[in-house]
Structure formats: structure tokens, C-alpha cells
């Protein structure tokens, strides 16, 4: 049989792709994942004893004591970096990576604060630990070596995007994210993370960038968020086009000539900022403003930026565009912007579903399973263009005291339902085991759920594939 020429080419490029140092990152056909919560962004409730041992405090109103990274860094300016560095090396290390692999998980979502790009912090008024970026690079290298796909999640944004939440890095009743200057910083952060994902070999398995974790749900309180969504996608794509990663032909054609002849990343970004007909004025400004910042980070992480050195050109040829990722449109009410309107190239949507915070179903087993087994979020979102959809946060937590028998079902049913979309990412990979943490791990830790047998050893399997059958309304 005569093999058609194009097939030979496909085989050859496959061969080269496998031989090359850097392979293209990709989202697995079905995501079975966990969040690496409280690693580079601490939420003290997940490690209450360690937090106290570090020098933190616990209080019912998190704005009133040392209950966030901001408050901690403000209280301990001289020791904060060393204290956090110890946490970063112990909370997530090779032992944890090995456990993820043994559990058959294929994806992690990594919550990050904007302060991981250190020069974005205004240190006259903002306080955060430094050095996390080195730990991110270290962890990503370990995840890459394990073949685990990574979603980088902008979880705590400049000015804080959520009210009175430890996960925003700073507890405040008046979040300041929804302002032009903080949107701008978030866009610079996104541009820097995009560049690093493609240029730093440690970031090889980074496949997606999540724009904003859990913004305020009332869209009337998030002015400008729709415009931000568009600028977010544009900056990701502008950086990629500057790096020679092809995304969309109409943008390819408008590439300024200087981009092709650039010798290094900064030169290419600078040339790209001439593409004023393709990108918004804000995005052009972000391209300019990110140049000194990505240069600084590259020095900090010893990342090569010269196209002709260390095979960077070849590495970039193997990269595919990042999947831009947003909370789905149903996260907000009051006439929200539709993130689908922002898409250029591959994009996905994220739904978070916690029954234990109320407002979803009555607090009993029957109501939980009836609601879950008839979930229509994937279809409803798809009708608004928000597809593919993954469930980027969920847990086994309940508003009632749950039996082991129920938690087996509860784990099965959630995995079953969320797998009908792009897959699921549990919150969280681990929780501190201590007297102070009490029972938290039982319903919030994947590793603990696995030890207790709520989760199957193979995440694609269920104890009972028919778990939902009695609850499905015909």
C-alpha cells in the first residue's frame, strides 16, 4: 500500500514531537484532577495548626486578625519570606507528586496570587511574601516530569476580587479589583504567565490559564469585567503570536514585521506592541508594560529569552496556544458579560459547586442526590456558548453529618455528573491532619478520601455506576 505523503509527514512530525525536549501541553480528554490549594496561596482554615505555628492567628472576622497572607506579611516584614519558604517546600513536594501519580490523577489546578510576580506589588501599601515564583518553577518541573497537566489559576487578584475571603489574599469588605489600574496589573500578570508558560521549560505541561477565580457574583458590582475578559484573551494571544505560536489566521496576518525578525522575547513583545489595529489600546499598553517585568522574572528564574539559544525557537514551534479559562457565565447574576464573547482560539469554562455553603439543595442526603443527579449546568452553559465546561472546585462537604456510606455515594455521584463535562478538579489535594483541623480532611481532602475509600483507586471508575439511577427524574 502506498502511504500518502501527508501521512508520512504526520508520522515524522509525531516522531520529532516525541524526541523534542518540549512537547505541547494539552488538556486530557477527561480531567481527573485536584487543586493544589494552600500551597502558594494559604487559606489558614486548611492548615490551622501550621498557620498558628508560623505566627498567624484565627478569628471569626478574617479582616480583624492575622488570617491572610497580606496581614501576615504586614505583621512580620523581616521573617515572612523565610517562614513561607518553609511552608512552600513542605506543603507540596515530590512526595505529593508521587501520590498524585499513584492516584491516577492527570491534572492539577494551581491557585496563585498576583504577588507571585513580585514587581506588581506596590510595597508602600501592599504586603506579601516574596520567593514563591521559585517554588512554582520547582513544583512545575516536578509535575512536568510526572506528566501532569497544569491549569494556572489567578486566584487572588490585585486589590482583591472577593469580599472577606482568605482566598483573595486579603480580607476586605470593599474589594478593589474592579478598577482600571488593578485590571491593568492583572493583565500584565496574565501576559507574564503566558510568556513563562511557553518559554520556561519547567512550565511545559501548563495548558491553561484561568483569568479570575470567583469574582463577585453580582455583576452590577464588577464594572468593566466584560472588557477585562476580552483584554485577558487578547493579551494571552498577543504574547503567543509574538512568540511565534499560531493562534488565529486573522491575527497572524496583522503581525508586525519586527516580530519575525526579533532575536529575543523582549524584542518580539516590543515589536508586537505595534499591532495597534488588532488589539485594544489597553492590551498594547500591557505589552509595553510587561517587558521590564518578564525580563526581570526571566533573570530571577534563569530562563533563556534568546530565540537562537538552548533550542528556544524549536521549543516554541511545538507549543500550542494556552486554553483561556473563565468562571462560566452562570457564576454571576444581574446581566453578566458572557466570557464566550471574548474567545479567540481554544477556551473553556469553569463551574464551582459546593453544596455545603447553602442555596443549592435542602440539607439532607435525598435532596443532595436528587439535585446532583438532575444537574443541568453543563447543558445550560453550553446553550450560552460556555462549553467545554469543567468543574474546577467541589468537595465532599455537607451541611449535615454525613455517614461513610453516604460519602461513598456522594463521591461517586459527583464524579459521574461532572465527568459529563470536561471533567473535575477536587478541592483540595490535602488538608492538614491535626487536632486543630479536626475532621476537615474527611470531606475536603482527596488523599484522605482515597485512604478512607470514598474515592476509587482509579479516578475514572466509580464504586457504583448506577448511583444516580434512583434519583434521575424522567
Provide the pairing of β-strand 389-394 with 423-426.
parallel
Q: Quick one: which segment of 9-17, 89-97, 433-441, 458-466 binds ligand NAG (CB under 6 A)?
A: 89-97
CB of 267 to ligand NAG, least distance (A): 5
CB of 291 to ligand NAG, least distance (A): 9
Provide the pairing of β-strand 347-353 with 206-210.
unpaired
CB of 68 to ligand NAG, least distance (A): 22
Contact 178, 292 (CB under 8 A): no
Report the residue number, 58 or 304, with the smaller CB distance to ligand NAG.
Answer: 304
Cα 102 to Cα 88, 364, 451: the distances in Å are 22, 33, 12
CB of 89 to ligand NAG, least distance (A): 7
Q: Quick one: which segment of 88-96, 134-142, 149-157, 342-350 binds ligand NAG (CB under 6 A)?
A: 88-96
CA nearest to 212, candidates 156, 268, 139: 156
Among 63, 93, 142, 145, binds ligand NAG (CB under 6 A): 93
Does residue 264 interact with ligand NAG by CB under 6 A?
yes
Question: How many residues does this entry show for the chain?
Answer: 474
Does residue 267 interact with ligand NAG by CB under 6 A?
yes
Residue 145 DSSP label = H
Grid coordinates representing 99? 501520590
| Site map (CB under 6 A) of ligand NAG, residues 189-218, x = contact | ------------------------------
CB of 307 to ligand NAG, least distance (A): 10
Report the residue number, 90 or 403, with the smaller CB distance to ligand NAG.
Answer: 90
Report the residue number, 49 or 93, with the smaller CB distance to ligand NAG.
Answer: 93
CB of 91 to ligand NAG, least distance (A): 7
Q: Residue 330: what are its φ and ψ, rounded to 5°?
A: -75, -5
Does residue 266 interact with ligand NAG by CB under 6 A?
yes
Does residue 86 interact with ligand NAG by CB under 6 A?
no
Number of Cβ within a 10 Å radius of residue 110: 23
Which residues have C-beta within 8 Å of that of residue 337, sequence separation ≥ 6?
A: 219, 225, 226, 229, 329
**Restricting to residues 295-314, which ones interact with ligand NAG according to CB under 6 A?**
295, 305
Does residue 90 interact with ligand NAG by CB under 6 A?
yes
CA nearest to 234, candidates 193, 287, 156: 287
CB of 246 to ligand NAG, least distance (A): 23
The neighbouring-strand residues paired with 389 are 349
Does residue 280 interact with ligand NAG by CB under 6 A?
no
Among 13, 79, 94, 439, binds ligand NAG (CB under 6 A): 94
**Restricting to residues 123-152, which ones interact with ligand NAG according to CB under 6 A?**
none
Q: Residue 198: what are its φ and ψ, rounded to 5°?
A: -95, -30
CB of 302 to ligand NAG, least distance (A): 13
Cα–Cα distance for residue pair 310/307, rounded to 1 Å: 8
CB of 371 to ligand NAG, least distance (A): 37
> Is residue 290 helix, strand or coil?
helix
148, exposed or middle or buried, with CB in 10 Å at 0-12, 13-18, 19+? buried
Does residue 229 interact with ligand NAG by CB under 6 A?
no
CB of 266 to ligand NAG, least distance (A): 5
| Site map (CB under 6 A) of ligand NAG, residues 352-371, x = contact | --------------------
DSSP letter for each residue of 208-230:
EEE--SS--SBGGGSTTHHHHHH
Instruction: Report which secondary-structure segment, H or E, holds 423.
Output: strand 423-426
> Is residue 111 helix, strand or coil?
strand
Does residue 432 interact with ligand NAG by CB under 6 A?
no
| Site map (CB under 6 A) of ligand NAG, residues 37-76, x = contact | ----------------------------------------
CB of 269 to ligand NAG, least distance (A): 10
Contact 377, 418 (CB under 8 A): no
Cα–Cα distance for residue pair 116/136, rounded to 1 Å: 9
Residue 333 DSSP label = B
Contact 325, 208 (CB under 8 A): yes
Does residue 263 interact with ligand NAG by CB under 6 A?
yes
Q: Which positions touch ligand NAG (CB under 6 A)?
A: 90, 93-95, 263-264, 266-267, 295, 305
Amino acid at each position: 500500500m502506498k502511504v500518502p505523503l501527508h501521512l508520512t509527514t504526520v508520522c515524522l512530525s509525531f516522531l520529532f514531537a516525541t524526541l523534542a525536549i518540549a512537547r505541547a501541553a494539552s488538556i486530557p480528554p477527561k480531567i481527573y484532577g485536584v487543586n493544589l490549594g494552600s500551597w502558594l496561596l494559604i487559606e489558614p482554615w486548611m492548615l490551622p495548626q501550621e498557620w498558628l505555628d508560623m505566627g498567624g492567628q484565627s478569628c471569626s472576622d478574617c479582616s480583624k486578625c492575622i488570617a491572610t497572607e497580606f496581614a501576615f506579611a504586614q505583621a512580620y516584614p523581616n521573617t515572612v519570606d523565610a517562614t513561607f519558604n518553609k511552608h512552600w517546600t513542605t506543603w507540596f513536594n515530590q512526595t505529593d507528586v508521587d501520590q498524585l501519580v499513584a492516584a491516577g490523577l492527570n491534572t492539577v489546578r494551581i491557585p496563585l496570587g498576583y504577588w507571585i510576580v513580585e514587581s506588581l506589588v506596590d510595597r508602600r501599601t501592599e504586603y506579601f511574601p516574596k520567593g514563591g515564583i521559585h517554588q512554582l518553577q520547582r513544583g512545575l518541573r516536578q509535575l512536568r516530569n510526572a506528566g501532569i497537566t497544569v491549569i494556572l489559576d489567578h486566584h487572588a487578584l490585585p486589590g482583591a476580587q472577593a469580599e472577606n475571603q482568605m482566598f483573595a489574599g486579603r480580607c476586605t469588605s470593599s474589594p478593589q479589583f474592579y478598577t482600571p489600574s488593578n485590571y491593568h496589573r492583572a493583565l500584565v500578570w496574565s501576559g507574564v504567565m503566558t510568556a513563562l508558560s511557553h518559554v520556561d521549560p519547567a512550565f511545559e505541561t501548563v495548558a491553561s490559564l484561568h483569568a479570575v477565580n470567583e469574582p463577585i457574583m453580582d455583576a452590577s458590582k464588577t464594572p468593566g469585567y466584560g472588557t477585562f475578559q476580552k483584554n485577558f484573551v487578547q493579551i494571552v494571544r498577543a504574547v503567543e503570536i509574538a512568540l511565534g505560536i499560531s493562534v488565529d489566521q486573522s491575527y497572524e496576518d496583522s503581525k508586525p514585521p519586527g516580530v519575525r525578525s526579533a532575536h529575543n522575547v523582549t524584542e518580539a513583545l516590543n515589536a508586537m506592541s505595534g499591532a495597534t489595529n488588532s488589539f485594544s489600546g489597553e492590551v498594547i499598553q500591557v505589552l509595553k508594560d510587561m517587558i521590564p517585568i518578564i525580563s526581570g522574572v526571566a533573570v530571577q528564574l534563569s530562563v533563556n529569552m534568546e530565540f537562537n539559544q538552548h533550542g528556544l525557537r524549536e521549543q516554541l514551534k511545538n507549543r500550542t496556544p494556552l486554553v483561556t479559562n473563565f468562571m462560566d457565565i452562570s457564576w454571576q447574576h444581574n446581566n453578566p458579560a458572557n466570557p464566550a464573547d471574548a474567545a479567540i482560539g481554544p477556551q473553556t469554562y469553569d463551574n464551582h459547586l459546593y453544596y455545603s455553603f447553602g442555596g443549592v439543595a435542602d440539607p439532607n442526603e435525598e435532596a443532595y442526590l436528587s439535585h446532583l443527579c438532575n444537574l443541568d449546568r453543563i447543558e445550560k452553559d453550553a446553550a450560552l456558548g460556555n462549553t467545554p465546561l469543567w468543574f474546577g472546585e467541589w468537595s465532599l462537604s455537607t451541611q449535615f453529618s454525613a455517614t461513610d456510606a453516604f460519602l461513598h455515594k456522594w463521591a461517586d455521584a459527583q464524579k459521574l455528573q461532572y465527568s459529563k463535562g470536561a471533567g473535575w478538579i477536587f478541592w483540595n489535594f490535602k488538608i492538614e491532619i491535626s487536632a486543630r483541623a479536626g475532621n476537615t480532611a474527611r470531606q475536603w481532602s482527596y488523599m484522605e478520601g482515597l485512604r478512607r475509600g470514598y474515592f476509587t483507586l482509579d479516578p475514572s471508575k466509580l464504586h457504583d455506576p448506577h448511583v444516580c439511577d434512583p434519583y434521575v427524574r424522567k
